[in-house]
Structure 1
Amino acid sequence: MNETFTDEELPAVLDELGVPGIFDVHVHFMAPEILAKVWAYFDSVGPLIGRPWPITYRGSDEERVERLRRMRVRWFSALSYAHKPGIAPFMNDWSRGFAARTPDSLWSATFYPEPEAAVYVPMLIADGVEVFKAHLQVGNFAADDLFLDPVWAAIEDAGTPVVLHAGSGPAPGDHTGPASVESVLKRFPGLRLIIAHLGTPEVEEFLDLADRFEELRLDLTMAFTGWFGEALPDRLPSRLRDLQSRLLFGSDFPNIPYAYAHQVGSLVRLDPGEEWLRDVLWSNGAALFGKQ
């Protein structure tokens, strides 16, 4: 299979693989004022980036949704991540509205280690939220913060997936890395955590956790694109084949410095086999979230 193709050619690639589309668990749609600040950070070469990072997909929410649909991204998340106390409810209210008007988007929400999270997270679960996002690096908190104990308990009981940025890429934070994640999983082993960006650069350590905790998953957002984190270990492809059923496709759309198709092509270039690609691009996400 040709590993070089454009966004416009992506549907033909999916046809060749025999999948109905892409299930992308790592897409960002945020309240306009929040997204403007995120883009301003990237445009200013913020300290966690350290190099120019041109955002490929700007425009309105409607334009970006239509772009995903043209590439045949059948399902996608709409992740926001709370970076300080008190802001999660505002973000969650906006995300609720976005999900209501965007039927192919997973209803997404966020939380922060604060007393109120023990109230608003169970309420969101009861209302039917489909995925959470938390960012240890940007939020500057540990996964095992005591305020999160009732949050993890509620999420584990519900089986709601959580996309968790816990790796130390693109720059280490005070609480990044696998230690606090392992601490949480020892107490809540049924959590359906999805480690973002393959846990880069602590990839091997997070894969080791996946060997021990059967509900732990990883997304491949920006992995193998040459833009995120350190060089990946030579033996990584064989480990990724072993964990085929627990790897999920992610893109970080729209905040990526290259075409969407480049992420897909970077996985094709690994030559993992068509069954692996079908599972990662579609089947694993569809099964986890119960979508068709």
Structure 2
Amino acid sequence: MPLTDEQLPRFCRELGIPGLADIHVHFLPERMLDKVWAYFDTAGERLGRPWPIQYRLPEPDRLRIARRLGLRAIPSLTYPHKPGMARWLNEWCADFAARVPDAVHSATLYPEPDAPDYLARALAAGARLIKMHVQVGAFAPDDPLLDPCWEQLQATGVPIVIHCGSGPQPGAFTGVSPIARVLDRFPDLVLVIAHAGLPEYHAFADLVERHPRVHLDTTMVGTDFTQARWPMPSGYAGRLAELADRVALGSDFPNIPYPYAHQIESLVRLDHGEDWLRTVLWRNGARLMGLSDPTDR
């Protein structure tokens, strides 16, 4: 039987984990979120199939649902699409972290002259997770304006969840090559490749194998929705088993076109065993987000 949202807390208990360490969750300013949802409302015109938002609810309701699902920490993961946005988004994220006790203080950046300054301010204020979106932002990750930011992030070891694969739509700077160039210069960055880099699954897995601090997140990977459009290629599921210590749970909550539990169910049916599930659903995300891990005691 399909796994349901209501069953997830019991599922976690039976697996022996305290909950879910989901590194790819979005809480955004309301006006920005309305625009994101409007984009997905018209996604069918671009993708050939509808993208109904499963959790189109006010923020308090989304927070209650996230906790009920078993999320032990809640990132915000905002992202700018033009210059001049990142600073105020970081201010919003700092406010979110201050008013939501289980929030993961997040921040973002964009290639612009003041990026090193506002990134340094965000890190000093406690940001411990960065979000970047190459396709939406339409910027090159190896833009020289980002070099001082990469230096800061490499020095601090703060993880960066970066959407750089070419799904659901390719951009001028998506794909593995721009990220590979960044890692050639900043090899100790802690990158988390959103959506496992789909549809360039194998190319980004190759990158993870070459760089021990690079991770994949599972956002939408293996779900029925994704398999119908961007299916995992031959041999890829086995690579996820081999890379277990560098695969972290991601979901894209609340902007997903199916119940949250379907993401977990999609990982279960890979049939890699309970220890793999404990590692992916909890341990890796907890390590990256700095959560206390009672399973290590």
> TM-score normalized by structure 2?
0.95
Tell me the CA shift for residue 178 of structure 1. 0.5
Letter of the 1:52 counterpart: P
Tell me, what secondary structure is at the counterpart of 1:186? helix
150-159 or 101-110, which moves further after superposition?
Answer: 101-110
Give the structure with the larger helix fraction: 2
Between the aligned partners of 2:130 and 2:163, the Cα distance in structure 1 is 11
1:277 corresponds in structure 2 to 277
Tell me the CA shift for residue 289 of structure 1. 2.4
1:257 corresponds in structure 2 to 257
Between the aligned partners of 1:177 and 1:283, the Cα distance in structure 2 is 28
2:16 corresponds in structure 1 to 18
Between the aligned partners of 2:40 and 2:130, the Cα distance in structure 1 is 23
Judging changes above 3 Å, is the alpha-carbon distance between structure 1 residues 99 and 242 closer, same or farther for their aligned structure 2 residues? same
2:92 corresponds to which of 61, 85, 94:
94
2:196 corresponds in structure 1 to 198
Tell me the CA shift for residue 238 of structure 1. 1.6
Between the aligned partners of 1:225 and 1:74, the Cα distance in structure 2 is 22
89-98 or 20-29, which moves further after superposition?
Answer: 89-98
Tell me the CA shift for residue 233 of structure 1. 1.5
Letter of the 2:217 counterpart: D
1:78 corresponds in structure 2 to 76
Letter of the 1:272 counterpart: H
Judging changes above 3 Å, is the alpha-carbon distance between structure 1 residues 159 and 5 closer, same or farther for their aligned structure 2 residues? same
Tell me, what secondary structure is at the counterpart of 1:38? helix
Letter of the 2:278 counterpart: R
Tell me, what secondary structure is at the counterpart of 1:227? helix
> TM-score normalized by structure 1?
0.96
Judging changes above 3 Å, is the alpha-carbon distance between structure 1 residues 47 and 146 closer, same or farther for their aligned structure 2 residues? farther
2:246 corresponds in structure 1 to 246
Contact 2:44–2:51 under 8 Å retained in 1: no
2:49 corresponds in structure 1 to 51
Between the aligned partners of 1:28 and 1:215, the Cα distance in structure 2 is 23
Tell me the CA shift for residue 49 of structure 1. 4.1
Contact 1:48–1:170 under 8 Å retained in 2: no
The unaligned stretches of length 5 or more in structure 1 are none
1:35 corresponds in structure 2 to 33
Letter of the 1:283 counterpart: R
Judging changes above 3 Å, is the alpha-carbon distance between structure 1 residues 48 and 127 closer, same or farther for their aligned structure 2 residues? farther
Between the aligned partners of 1:55 and 1:46, the Cα distance in structure 2 is 12
1:158 and 2:156 correspond: yes
1:237 corresponds in structure 2 to 237
Cα shift readout 1:125-170 (whole Å, capped 9, x = no counterpart): 1221011101110111111011100110011101010000000001
116-125 or 252-261, which moves further after superposition?
Answer: 116-125
Letter of the 1:177 counterpart: G
Between the aligned partners of 1:48 and 1:176, the Cα distance in structure 2 is 17
Between the aligned partners of 1:223 and 1:87, the Cα distance in structure 2 is 29
Count of residue correspondences: 290
Contact 1:75–1:104 under 8 Å retained in 2: yes
Judging changes above 3 Å, is the alpha-carbon distance between structure 1 residues 50 and 150 closer, same or farther for their aligned structure 2 residues? farther
221-230 or 14-23, which moves further after superposition?
Answer: 221-230
Between the aligned partners of 2:243 and 2:4, the Cα distance in structure 1 is 28
1:138 corresponds in structure 2 to 136
Tell me, what secondary structure is at the counterpart of 1:132? strand
Tell me the CA shift for residue 241 of structure 1. 1.3
Contact 1:42–1:49 under 8 Å retained in 2: no
Q: Provide the alpha-carbon RMSD of the alignment.
A: 1.2
2:295 corresponds in structure 1 to none
Contact 2:25–2:254 under 8 Å retained in 1: yes
Judging changes above 3 Å, is the alpha-carbon distance between structure 1 residues 21 and 202 closer, same or farther for their aligned structure 2 residues? same
Identity %: 50
128-137 or 42-51, which moves further after superposition?
Answer: 42-51
Following superposition, which runs of at least 4 residues in structure 1 exceed 3 angstroms of deviation? 46-50
Tell me, what secondary structure is at the counterpart of 2:5? coil
